[in-house]
Amino acid sequence: MNMRELSVLTIATVVVVFAVGPVGIGTAQETDGGAEIVFENQVTDGNVVTVASADLPTAGHIGIVDTHGILIGVSDSLAAGEHSEIEITLDNPLNEDAELRTDLKAVLLTAEDDGQQYNGSTDPHERLLLGDDNRPISDTAIVTVENQGTLGSVDAGRANFQIRSVNASSGDQPEPATTTVDIENVGNATGTQNISYTLEGENITTGSGAVDIVFALDQSGSMDDDNAVVRQELQNFTNRLQAENVDVRYAVVEMERPTSVVQNFTSNVTETRAAVDQILRASGDTEDNFESLNRSLALLSEQGRSNAQQIVIDITDEGSNVDEPTQEELAERFNQTNTTYIAVTPPGDQDPMARYSPSLQKRPLANMTERGVWYNLVAGNFGEQFTEEIAQGVVDVSRENQQELTLDPNETATVTLEVNTTTVPSGTYNVTVATANDTASTTLPVGAP
């Protein structure tokens, strides 16, 4: 590699297998076991990536999916069985300016439907195939993009933050635990990077900077007086997150019976605003508020990124018409999955909320949820609350597990990351620390109070 510069980029590179078969869009399907993908760290010119091996349960394809869930490359057709060294040409080359900091996953998907080709607008989550453990089959890789030009002067260099050691100390709730990381800048330029961690255990993962948000929206006739304000404030909200450079995806769920998903997760803000506008301009009838929250949590489970903080924003002027699931069941699900719940409703003593018992209202549900917060939909300063307080709360959530570090060339520093044990159940967790160039893991025991 003499006289060549290497840009090491930890990318969220999802390898996706498209199985050829009769399964239709929108339904997750389980495989009969044996499927496997191996995607190894590699050096590439940015145009082609190589999947080391794959065992397909049926004929299909392998695809590469970016951090926003969009396909960026698909292999030629592959027969069922074992394959090795599968080269996949990307639709657009990777380069040193690309935003490639989050690990992606390898997942199995169903085939093209009715001959429809996969393209950049395809959402791979619509065609998920699951393994025996009912989870997507996945693998990750660090891809190094090789600059074919000659290595310039030190002024044209770059930082390269490598993790030399990582250690975690156990913590008994509610006391915090700590993860200590030694990091060295082996590059030839001063750099500043976010040092983040992901905490992963049984049925729970905390994020490392990315955020997945579900808007659960009420389109019933009683919201007509509020919808214009809600539309405007949701636009201001998304503008604020864009300005703060939050790695965010949105999904939209409507409350009208039967509850349905209007938009699956996307990072496309224009599409999200159109979906919100579609709901809030269509006056509906009876709404199932609690069931819409249940569907929102299911959507996060099915499509949410493992490295993302999960948030549900619930906007309605009424309580739930039915108690299935109950407040207690919903609160337990929010807490078990470490999901932030933001309820935007009137106070319980104001119409039309006043006709609902406390067990069917959203403010008590927010109070029962460890990461729950309530905002007054009919407050005079609602717009300011949504644009400032709620948006800032999401920004804060996105930065919970991060710390900024600046290093000169050949400088080493020790970073201490504090883990809040009160937001996760007791147990043993895998802690993965990441810079823009490297990752390392260790285990962390969290004890009960």
Domains of the chain (ranges plus CATH)?
5-147 (no CATH), 157-204+407-447 (2.60.40.10), 210-398 (3.40.50.410)
Cα angle 359-365-367, degrees, rounded to a multiple of 5: 120
pLDDT at position 9 = 42
pLDDT digit string, tens, across residues 176-235: 888 899 999 988 888 888 888 877 776 555 655 678 999 998 877 777 667 777 788 888
pLDDT at position 264 = 93
pLDDT at position 379 = 74
What is the Cα–Cα distance from 201 to 427, expressed in whole angstroms? 8
364 pLDDT above the threshold of 60: yes
Q: What is the largest CA-CA distance in the chain?
A: 75
In this predicted model, which residue has the larger pLDDT, 24 or 78? 78
135 pLDDT above the threshold of 70: no
CA separation (Å) from 159 to 194, 256, 296, 436? Answer: 13, 52, 40, 10
pLDDT at position 21 = 35
pLDDT at position 341 = 94
pLDDT digit string, tens, across residues 231-258: 888 888 888 888 777 888 999 998 877 7
What is the Cα–Cα distance from 365 to 377, expressed in whole angstroms? 16
pLDDT at position 421 = 73
Q: Are 402 and 192 in contact (CB under 8 A)?
A: no
| pTM tops 0.85 | no
In this predicted model, which residue has the larger pLDDT, 128 or 56? 56
